[in-house]
Structure 1
Amino acid sequence: MYRKADVVVIGGTPSGIACAVRCAGEGLNVILVNLTDHLGGVMGSGLGVTDTLYDGFRAPIYETFIQSVREYYKKSYGENSEQYAACYSKRKLHFEPHVAELVFTRMLEAESRISVLYRYYPVSVEQVRRKLTAVTIRSFDDGAPIRLEADAFVDASHEGDLAAAAGVEMRAGRESRGEYDEPHAGKIFTQTGGGKYPRDAVEGLLNLEPFAGTTQQIFSGSTGEGDNAFQAYNFRVCLTCNPVNRVYPSKPDSYDKTLYLGIVEKPEDNRGRTHVLRTHLMLGDGSWRLKSHIPNDKLTWNDPLLLGAQLEYPNAGWERRKEIIREHADFALGMLYFLQNDEAVGPDVRQEALRWGLPKDEFIDNGHFPYELLVREGRRMVGRYTFTEHDGILASGLNRAPVHSDSIGIAEWPISSHDCTADRRPGSSNDGVLMLSESTRPSQIPYRSLLPQNVDNLLVTICLSCSHIGWGTLRLEPVFMHLGESAAYAIALAAGQGIPPGKLDADKLVRKLAENQVMVSFFNEFDMATRHNWVPAVQYFGTKGFFADYDAKPEEILDRHTFSIWAGAFGSLLAGSPNPLETARKLHRERERSRDAEPVNRIEFHRMIEDELVIRGFQGLQAHPDQNASTPLRRGEACFMLYRLLLAIPN
């Protein structure tokens, strides 16, 4: 069987859906290939929350999802209902799995240019030099394979099978500390302390919700050695305490109570067990209560991590992956059964556990259990740029993370990792556990991180190019949706020019994104819904080093010294030799001189820019002053005027 489209997207994940919807909106025909019968990936399989510390408008498709879910609860239950109040709090969206699936399904059904194929996975590709020409997909139900032709392909899956089939270099596991000089890479033992972080957010200097807890101790034995370990997997089991909607799970056929005894043992007695046993029910002293945090008396249970069982998954075939998925399902259901029924568990713990069960109105055709395993970390591409720990923390000589001129999105979740192995040191968490909420800062994600080295018409939006530690801030669904939409704009822009996305001028892509409300630079004062003409310009120049921190100060008067640096950077940009990081560092280094400098008026602005134009060989262009030539210029206005001039310069 054979089919053809402009774009083939592998993965009905939130990232894949965002990519498909935007491609269709740009006039491209799309085939979306989904692994299961149900759309939405882990957001439709129990995740229940948008893990983010930022509640601003970051990208249109993601914002559409947010508002559609909120509208669902408002219309279904009323504006003053508990459900509507519960669906959004602390800068996060909280939702039931079936609601996420419904919203994603409606988003796809609204686009006539999208065809969805369910229960298929990629098995091989056809390639001519640096371009894929077709991918063959196979049915989980033993149907005939389908050959899909397209001009562009997107791997938006957690498995990365399309990229791997295309011969893209992939890796799984942890890099050593020395490979990218990452302080927290490789084997590491830590302990997380209390408090809220980063302190900048607590003090109101950073427009993020502070995170409770941060890594405060690093223990001996943290060698930094690389290995094949990575974050453990689990099902995000949706539970309810509503007796009318609650059903208790049966004991799995493979049930083995010895797997769970660590829950009721002291940590020193549990040392060396092969599985991590971490649950809110560990205290067992009557002081705890599990709390609903998604609407309709539900929660998403994140505790039953099955260490070791994840290691084969990334590079395994689907027959073996099915076995691994079954092991994780049995482990989660077995843990719940143990907590509810075993006499080794204290009576108060059993009583609390029995308050919770599987919801009858979720996953109705799957025994009320999630459809998809949370593949928390798998293959990672080795692409044209590798995003590392350094990209998510303060850069040397700056009060912000590094600047990337080809930024196509942002990340802001604390660099973090769940357990990688069951090894531990006295007093430490399991090997690999991290929460760098104090040192993480909003980062820019380069377009190059989505591009394979050897293929020009393939974009990878989930298994993108990053280190294990870099993955720790990228690994959230809001980021994946953001990147999916950015990838779609890249494909559409390249198609309009008759070139593959890997040959696209990244600067034009950054402009396209900024002009279409896709965030490429994080700032404290505004988001992409802000209605000012300078917003795209400030976003764009945020990728060119015009800001040494996260304060754009668009309404403040521009000083002469800052503008002299901007003018030089603008000239270098015109000459094709920008150095964003050095520009930002110079602004930071000379900030005291900027504070004492006089304001710039419009006459001075035009004179300095015209000097740069002449120096760079653009004598035919002039930046004529307007009627208010003698008035001081605001920073946002200056960016807008520079941006308008940039667009007037012939390619």
Structure 2
Amino acid sequence: MTNTAAVDVCVYGGTAAGCVAAMAAHQEGASVVLVEPGRWLGGMLSSGIKPLQDCPLPAAVGGLTGEVILGFGNEPRSVLRAFHEWIESADIEVVFERRVRSVSSEGNRITAIRLETSRPDKWGVPLPASESVPDIAIKSSVFIDASYEGDLMALAGVPYRTGREPQDAFGEEVAGVRPVTNWTPIDPYMIAGDTTSGLLPLLHPDHGLPVGAGDDYTQAYNFRFYVTTDPARRVEFTAPDDYSADGFELVRRYVEHLGSDLEALRGVFPGWLNSGEYNYQRASLITNAPLGTSRAYQDGNWDTRSRLWRHHIDYLRGLHHFLSTDPSVPEEFRAEMSRYGLDAAVFPDTEGWPPQLYVRVARRLEGRYTLAHADVLNQNDHSDSIGLALFGVDVYPVRRIPHRDSETGRLGVATEGDMFIGGHMGTGRPYPIPYRAITPQQSDCGNLLVPVCLSATHIAYAATRMEPVFCVLAESAAVAAVQSLRERTDVQGIDMRKFRARLAERGQVLDFSDPEPAGRTDPESPGRPDQESAG
């Protein structure tokens, strides 16, 4: 690619949604470039999540997502290969190891984006901003931000939200700060009983806001990783350079509380075995991801994000080392943990580490319509539906804090923010996502579509944020982008009748009439959907 390239549609982010958007725009006759900050396509679908894992009702998924993506298999290496081969088969140009640095605009339209270098390290950690240098520019008539972070949107000056809205902002009873979960009678202070000694590492001070108040926290991120004891595949979990057992004193006290309960200890590490890979065990006070760090990631620069990405890796390394070596851990469990290593056969490019951190939510567009809990509950009809979503409100814990039990008066430690409302099937009926939720206000930007960081409250996003949904919305976004080119109008001004007719021709499912949809189809799903989730 030359120093400045010009295309009809620029898709930013090689997530699964970004790949679908690029393919759909190509199929609609546009020239396309796909920009991916890393070296891998597919996002979380190439990093542990299975295409069908968060799709409890495949009949509600149409278009390329149903025809192609759901058939990519379940093994991350094969899914990754399928995404690369799919994009290569259409000869779509991909710019790897570049991310957006700045955005140029005229009036309400983006004219170009300037990229910077962003080569990840050997474990997939993104390049810090301080080490990046300016690179090529891309001019395009329409832009689609399909990244998990929404950087193109933000740099274009389009308004967005982060954190948790209060209950009264959108009439959501379950919004904002939530009652604590996983309360455990553990002393939270460095010196037990001494409140002046400071909180233990891995705890956050309680901000003291009441249930229902808004704040700037968001749900936990983690890796969907694989472990093995097979010497031919095993990569050792080495301890971080700055490892100190003192940093895991809270873990020591929790292990002491659990005693010899090996199953509960496994909830700390490796976590919850989902569909071959390990996920966050939300029923455990401590598990395989740090809490509270996503708060800084969601609107941070790449110095901050790179540091936090590495922190997730080092937390896992340190936790594994502690549980494998510390004499406070039951000997049988120490021996079990010491046998585990990362499975390099699953993610060979990054020495067993998944190449994508599971960024469950970051920025959220302030668009022409904001999805709220009422939409998830199917209480609103939308004539501009561009696809369906179907999942419960799925929020992983946001904080781990000291908390005094209201009944006993005892001081302990608890998590806060965790909820899973409605199970995998949500309300049991798919709900429509309006076109207005992926388009900014026209005065903010007339040639940008945002199918991943869409316009939704923290609560509604927690139900909508599943990879198949992102893919469905991305295909619709690409069709809208090409139609806006042909009609010579902003994306907000396209002919909706013509647009929805074209989506239907492509096989998109825009409404759902089956009053009794079938149950979850993933045979590897957990057996207690009211307590665990795939997301």
State TM-score, norm by structure 1: 0.65
SS in 1 for 2:277: strand
Given candidates 7, 12, 22, the residue that maps to 2:24 is 22
Q: For 1:184-208, what per-residue CA distance to the aligned partner results, in whole angstroms no more than 9, with x for missing partners?
A: 011111559xxxxxxxxxxxxxxxx
Instruction: Please say which of residues 434-443 and 447-456 is displaced more in the overlay.
Output: 434-443
Aligned-pair identity (%): 32
- CA distance 1:417–1:284, change in 2 (3 Å): closer
The code of the aligned residue for 1:9 comes to V
* Larger relative contact order, structure 1 or 2 (CA cutoff 8 Å, min sep 6): 2
Contiguous gaps of at least 5 residues in structure 1: 71-94, 193-219, 271-279, 396-401, 525-548, 552-651
Are 1:187 and 2:180 counterparts? no
Aligned to 1:371: 355
Aligned to 1:45: 47
CA contact (8 A) 1:284 1:348 kept: no
Are 1:61 and 2:42 counterparts? no
CA contact (8 A) 2:255 2:265 kept: no
Q: For 1:116-159, what per-residue CA distance to the aligned partner results, in whole angstroms no more than 9, with x for missing partners?
A: 01111112112121211111111125565211111100010111
Aligned to 2:509: 519
Are 1:452 and 2:436 counterparts? no
Given candidates 371, 394, 398, the residue that maps to 1:416 is 394
CA contact (8 A) 1:455 1:502 kept: no
Q: Distance in 2 between matches of 1:420 and 1:290?
A: 17
CA contact (8 A) 2:388 2:432 kept: yes
SS in 2 for 1:265: helix
Q: Distance in 2 between matches of 1:289 and 1:326?
A: 18
Given candidates 267, 291, 300, the residue that maps to 1:316 is 300
CA contact (8 A) 1:6 1:29 kept: yes
Q: Distance in 1 between matches of 2:433 and 2:266?
A: 45
Q: Distance in 1 between matches of 2:297 and 2:227?
A: 26
CA contact (8 A) 2:114 2:134 kept: no
| Aligned pairs (5 A) from 1:133-532 | 133-140=111-118, 142=132, 144-189=134-179, 223-263=211-251, 265-266=253-254, 283-284=264-265, 294=275, 298-302=276-280, 303-395=287-379, 402-423=380-401, 426=405, 430-437=415-422, 440=427, 441-453=429-441, 454-524=444-514
SS in 2 for 1:445: strand
Q: Distance in 1 between matches of 2:414 and 2:18?
A: 34
The code of the aligned residue for 1:167 comes to G
The code of the aligned residue for 2:175 comes to A
Aligned residues: 456
RMSD value over aligned CA atoms? 2.9
Given candidates 102, 109, 118, the residue that maps to 2:88 is 109
Aligned to 2:9: 7
Q: Distance in 2 between matches of 1:117 and 1:41?
A: 15
Q: Distance in 2 between matches of 1:258 and 1:134?
A: 50
The code of the aligned residue for 2:327 comes to E
Q: Distance in 2 between matches of 1:3 and 1:285?
A: 51
- CA distance 1:301–1:180, change in 2 (3 Å): closer
SS in 2 for 1:126: strand
State TM-score, norm by structure 2: 0.79
Q: CA deviation at 1:311?
A: 1.6
Are 1:118 and 2:84 counterparts? no
Question: Which of 1 and 2 has greater Rg?
Answer: 1
- CA distance 1:425–1:433, change in 2 (3 Å): farther
- CA distance 1:266–1:332, change in 2 (3 Å): closer
Q: CA deviation at 1:221?
A: 8.1
Q: Distance in 2 between matches of 1:5 and 1:115?
A: 10
Q: For 1:1-28, what per-residue CA distance to the aligned partner results, in whole angstroms no more than 9, with x for missing partners?
A: 1001110111000110110011111111
- CA distance 1:241–1:21, change in 2 (3 Å): farther
Q: Distance in 1 between matches of 2:449 and 2:440?
A: 7
Q: Distance in 1 between matches of 2:310 and 2:215?
A: 26
The code of the aligned residue for 2:330 comes to G
CA contact (8 A) 2:60 2:430 kept: no
Aligned to 1:273: none
The code of the aligned residue for 1:319 comes to D
CA contact (8 A) 2:371 2:460 kept: yes
Q: CA deviation at 1:171?
A: 1.6
SS in 2 for 1:61: helix
CA contact (8 A) 1:235 1:332 kept: no
SS in 2 for 1:237: coil
The code of the aligned residue for 2:416 comes to D
Q: CA deviation at 1:478?
A: 1.0
Are 1:97 and 2:76 counterparts? yes
Q: Distance in 1 between matches of 2:273 and 2:239?
A: 24
Q: CA deviation at 1:357?
A: 2.1
Higher share in helix: 1
Q: CA deviation at 1:281?
A: 6.0
